[in-house]
Homo-oligomer: A and B are copies of this chain.
Amino acid sequence: MTSEQLILELTLTAWKAQLKRADQLFQSFTDEQLQSDIAPGKNSGFYLLGHLTATHDRLFELLGLSTRLHPELDAAFLSNPDKSGLPVPPVAELKQYWTDVNTKLNDHIAKLLPSDWLQRHTQVSAEDFVKEPHRNKLNVIISRTNHVAYHLGQLVWLKK
Name A's B-contacting residues (CB within 8 A).
1-4, 6-11, 13-14, 18, 38-40, 42, 114-115, 117-118, 133-134, 136, 138-139, 142-143, 145-147, 149-154, 157
- 29 A-B residue pairs with Cβ-Cβ distance under 8 Å, sorted by A, are A3-B4, A3-B114, A4-B7, A6-B118, A6-B133, A7-B7, A7-B8, A7-B117, A7-B118, A7-B138, A10-B136, A10-B139, A11-B11, A11-B142, A14-B142, A14-B143, A14-B146, A18-B146, A39-B42, A39-B157, A42-B157, A146-B149, A147-B149, A149-B153, A150-B150, A152-B153, A153-B153, A154-B154, A154-B157
Do the beta carbons of B149 and A13 come within 8 Å of each other?
no
Task: State the Cβ distance, A12 to closest chain B Cβ, in Å.
Answer: 11
Instruction: Note all chain B residues with C-beta closer than 8 A to A4.
Output: 2-4, 7
**Among the listed B14, B39, B117, B149, which residue makes an inter-chain contact with A40, where contact means beta carbons less than 8 Å apart?**
B39
A143 CA to B13 CA, complexed, in Å: 11
**Among the listed B6, B142, B150, which residue makes an inter-chain contact with A10, where contact means beta carbons less than 8 Å apart?**
B142
A133 CA to B153 CA, complexed, in Å: 28
Q: Which residue of B lies closest to A115 (CB)?
A: B3
A145 CA to B147 CA, complexed, in Å: 11
Q: Which residue of B lies closest to A14 (CB)?
A: B142
